[in-house]
Amino acid sequence: MFFNDLVSGLGAQDSVAHIGPSVLYDRFQYYRHTAASVFIAEPDPMRAATVYQKLDGKRHVTLLQCAVLSEGRRTDLRRYNFDGVTSLQSLAALQSAFPGLRETAQLVVDVLPVSQLLKQFRPQHRGGDMLVIDCLGEELAILQKIDDEQALSRFQRIVVRTAHGTKADASGLDALTKWLAERHYRDPFLLDGSDASLPVMYFHRNQLSENLAHQTDLVKSLRAEKETQRALLEDANQNAEKAAADMRVAMRLHTAAQDDLKDLQSQYASLFAAKEEQDKLLRQVARKLSYASDYLHRLAVESPEFAGLLEEIQLDDGAQDEFSGQHTQQKSGPESSENKEENA
């Protein structure tokens, strides 16, 4: 696989982001292609001028003379006597791989945050863009920021030149490979291994793996939702059974209460009927006693010989006075007084 093959595989709707300071421009030769829109961020003024001359007014390429970092406004650019390690970081640890490496210049350059670079791209995309990172020591931080911006999925192809196997391996090619593999960039390909300390790696997003992971997550989500629904259904069934049991108990209590009420009503009706019967008998006895008393008084009036007998009956018959009540005493009292007056 060659560098230009990556670019030729892009369509007119796809884009490229090339983040420097880089030495890979001639290998990709963007100025010879018109199939994709290209955004080049080159903080080194000398390299930016060289790239601009080769573009020769190509409208599909936008040159940004700035560094691209996760955040910030200004940063230091360090040049070394070995052009391939020009960097935004101090790479003194590379001296183990490059004996005699020394810093030749340092200048302050502008910084374009990753979030602002992403705004240069078209919002609509098919997920086929390409990202080239040739910014030693900043690879993983830039990728992580792109992922934080929810934009990593738009890059199907990722090319990274990184320090490997040296003390400057800060980001770590192994860590970078693992991080990208977790995001479905599997089976990295060594694009350029001419310098083992600065390999150029190519990562391709595995769409099938991504779809499989998505489907797996969906299945897990559906299973979790199913378990949740099952638990809710079991709780609902238990609550329904408890409610039915409580209802049966309540119905039994209600039926027992109704039976007790009917029994009480029956007892009350029986007692009330007995009372009515007793009241009726008492009224009949009272009438008969009243008739007997009136009859005796008339006899006493008509036959004086019965007057003494009547007085003896009234004295001895105390039970009759209690039974007749106060009304009978009041009634018989005046009549006795009148009889005495008449006898007198």
Whether 100 and 172 share a structural domain: yes
Whether 323 and 175 share a structural domain: no
Collapsed DSSP state (helix, strand, coil) of residue 20: coil
In which domain, by residue range, is 283 found? 214-343
Whether 192 and 218 share a structural domain: no
- Give the count of beta carbons closer than 10 Å to the beta carbon of residue 102: 10
Of 205, 225, 257, the position where a domain reaches its end is: 205
Whether 262 and 120 share a structural domain: no
Whether 319 and 227 share a structural domain: yes
Whether 51 and 191 share a structural domain: yes
Whether 36 and 117 share a structural domain: yes
How would you label 237-250 residue by residue, b for 16+ Cβ within 10 Å and e otherwise? eeeeeeeeeeeeee
Whether 67 and 200 share a structural domain: yes
Q: DSSP assignment, residue 21?
A: S
Of 187, 205, 223, the position where a domain reaches its end is: 205
pLDDT at 64: 96
Domain at 120, CATH number: 3.40.50
Whether 186 and 222 share a structural domain: no
pLDDT at 169: 56
Whether 182 and 219 share a structural domain: no
Whether 63 and 159 share a structural domain: yes
End-to-end alpha-carbon separation of the chain, Å? 161
How many structural domains compose the chain?
A: 2
Instruction: Say how far apart CA 36 and CA 133 lie, in whole Å.
Output: 17
Tell me the pLDDT of the chain (344 aa) as tens digits.
578 888 888 888 899 999 999 999 988 888 777 667 899 999 999 999 999 998 887 888 999 999 999 988 999 999 999 989 999 988 777 777 788 888 999 999 999 999 999 999 988 888 899 999 999 989 999 999 999 999 999 999 999 999 876 555 555 788 899 999 999 998 899 999 888 889 999 999 987 766 666 677 777 888 888 888 888 888 989 999 998 899 989 898 999 899 999 999 999 999 999 999 998 999 888 888 888 888 877 777 777 666 666 666 665 555 445 544 444 444 444 444 444 444 43
Token pair, residue 42, equals 């080159």
Kindly report the three-state secondary structure assignment for every residue of 65-133.
Answer: CCEEECCCCEEEEEEECCHHHCECCCCHHHHHCCCCCCEEEEEEEEEEEHHHHHCCCCCCCCCCEEEEE
Question: What does DSSP say about strands 103-113 and 74-80: parallel, antiparallel, or unpaired?
Answer: antiparallel
Collapsed DSSP state (helix, strand, coil) of residue 209: helix
Instruction: Say how far apart CA 17 and CA 134 lie, in whole Å.
Output: 11
Of 205, 229, 260, the position where a domain reaches its end is: 205
Asked whether the whole model's pTM tops 0.85, one would answer no
Instruction: Say how far apart CA 38 and CA 16 lie, in whole Å.
Output: 5
Q: 203-210 long-range CB contacts below 8 Å, 24 or more apart? A: 203/157, 203/158, 203/159, 203/160, 203/177, 204/156, 204/157, 204/158, 205/127, 205/153, 205/155, 205/156, 205/157, 205/158, 207/156, 209/184, 210/184
Whether 218 and 201 share a structural domain: no
Question: What does DSSP say about strands 74-80 and 15-19: parallel, antiparallel, or unpaired?
Answer: unpaired
